[in-house]
Amino acid sequence: MRILALSDVHVDFAQNRDWLTRISNVDHLQDVLLLAGDVTDKLDLLERTLEGLRRKFARLFFVPGNHELWDRERAYSDAIAKFERILERCAALDVCTEPRVLDGVRIVPLFSWYARPEESPDSLFLEKASEDASRTAWADDYFVRWPEFGNGGGAAAHFLARNEMRLQHDDDLPTVSFSHFLPRRDLMMRTAAEIEREGPGIPDPNPHFNFSRVAGTYSLDRQIRRLRPAVHVYGHQHRNRWREIDGVLYVSHCLGYPAERQRAPSAGVRGPRVVWET
């Protein structure tokens, strides 16, 4: 059994839908795919995409990203109501959103959201000189509506609390975990060795937007450290990474937007990436 990673497939773009159809229907029938969020905000299209991928793999695991919780037409009372609906549809499609042990490996989906700098000291925020202080470019501010949280915190605290039961186990099985959002600030930037090996990256498409404000939270990494995975897969930034930090291999393998692949063809991915083999 192999475990493969993929995220940010954004199937609202026809090019990305075509890319997914080219994943082999026979090569991965013994494999597991971890799909780390940002497929689409359209529930019917999400279902069709998950259903199609489920047929290509022995198991499909999924966590929603921020795009899944967009509600452009206000069809749900709030983002948590839509989140619960997505989990219901995943269960009906035999798409795993709960931890499972397969072939001696524990696979743990971790729900997440980002913490902004004004919300928590665990924000991954970094100063950016060219940032537009008005911060009008982030679609989540328009399409995601939260309920009043009773936990004294916001969305990030809500999803972290939902993970708590997933962190508890009493054996030493190897673990692979995954989330949509970033768990560490140092994953946002490439190292000098990566720049030398990979060459120029994707140019900044929006120098006035500061991604670090909405990247993730260090609180997620503390949960990862309690879980002690060999590998943690994440998405969200549309930057691919393969980096070991303090005993955990952090992997990001994103399809991203077609325009990003045109600006930097080296950023494109040929297919899901293997992160574990039994």
Encode pLDDT of 148-193 as tens digits.
987 667 999 999 999 999 999 888 999 999 999 999 999 999 888 8
User: Which residue did the predictor score with more confidence, 135 or 123?
Assistant: 123
Residue 152: what pLDDT?
Answer: 67
Encode pLDDT of 244-263 as tens digits.
999 999 999 999 999 888 88
Residue 265: what pLDDT?
Answer: 63
Encode pLDDT of 51-70 as tens digits.
999 999 999 999 999 999 99
Which bin fits 69, alpha (ψ -120 to 50), beta or left (φ > 0)? alpha
Q: Which helix (H) or strand (E) holds 58?
A: none
Residue 90: what pLDDT?
Answer: 98
Which region among 72-86, 94-108, 125-139, 163-177 has the lowest average model confidence (pLDDT)?
125-139
What is the C-alpha to C-alpha distance for residues 274 and 60, in angstroms, rounded to an integer? 14
Residue 154: what pLDDT?
Answer: 92
Q: What is the CA radius of gyration of the chain?
A: 18
Residue 200: what pLDDT?
Answer: 74
Reply yes or no on whether the pLDDT at 205 is more than 80: no
pLDDT confidence tier of residue 198, bands split at 50, 70 and 90? confident
CATH number, domain of 263, equals 3.60.21
Residue 151: what pLDDT?
Answer: 64
Residue 136: what pLDDT?
Answer: 75
Number of folded domains that form the chain: 1
Q: What is the mean pLDDT of the segment spanning 197-211?
A: 81
User: Which residue did the predictor score with more confidence, 243 or 205?
Assistant: 243
Residue 153: what pLDDT?
Answer: 77
Q: What are 217's strand-pairing partners?
A: 123
Q: What is the mean pLDDT of the segment spanning 97-125?
A: 96
Residue 147: what pLDDT?
Answer: 95
Identity of the residue numbered 91:
A
- State which residues form the domain around 204: 2-277
Which region among 101-110, 191-200, 205-214 has the lowest average model confidence (pLDDT)?
191-200
